[in-house]
Chain A
């Protein structure tokens, strides 16, 4: 596609439920990143995929968070047993080479009630 697509755009879930957030990167982009942005705050790095290499998971805040990238394309971020502090906008970005020219999606706004 022409840009990075994220779905859903909004998600409201009950505390304790699991959620899955999806990211479709730009075709041909080998690098894919997930960030979290709380209201009025900066971007918090979560996880980074580069080609077929093992992902850099150093930013995941707890073991309730996991992500996978199938076939080097679509990525899914899963949050298990959601907590209210997980409420934020989750942004996905892709780039043709590691660390250059990120293109971001519009994000998924997650609200845990």
Chain B
């Protein structure tokens, strides 16, 4: 099965600064790379995803970059705001479907 590692487990940044979360995976056949955001008391919500034929995708303040050779992809959040505080999960799609990372708790300091 797919082995997924997500770093860091906790990330604290000043409001307005950028945040980067990295996800490494093991299955070279993985072809779809989503990121989910989970706020307190809610289910995870898909915020951005990328397919294996693309290296980068942006949506306003968030972006995802993919390095298939090194088998990792990253979530970038610029100009962080208080509402970005949440737990973020990567979930690469391998042969067994999506495998979720253990999550990164992002804390935005005022």
B-facing residues in A70-99 (Cβ within 8 Å): 91, 93, 98-99
Q: Is B103 in contact with A42, judged by CB distance below 8 angstroms? A: yes
Does any Cβ of A come within 8 Å of B61's Cβ? Answer: no
Does any Cβ of A come within 8 Å of B55's Cβ? Answer: no
- Interface on B for A, CB 8 Å cutoff? 32, 34, 36, 41-46, 49, 89, 91, 93, 97-103
Closest B residue by C-beta to A48: B97
- Which DSSP category, helix, strand, loop or mixed, fits chain A's interface? loop
With known contacts A98-B97, A99-B98, A106–B32 Cβ distance under 8 A: no
Q: Give the size of the chain A interface in residues (CB under 8 angstroms).
A: 19
Q: Is A106 in contact with B100, judged by CB distance below 8 angstroms? A: no
Q: Is B44 in contact with A100, judged by CB distance below 8 angstroms? A: no
Besides A42-B103, A104-B45, 20 more A-B contacts (Cβ < 8 Å) are A35-B100, A41-B102, A42-B89, A42-B100, A42-B101, A42-B102, A43-B44, A45-B99, A91-B43, A91-B44, A99-B32, A101-B46, A101-B49, A102-B36, A102-B44, A102-B46, A103-B46, A104-B36, A105-B43, A106-B41
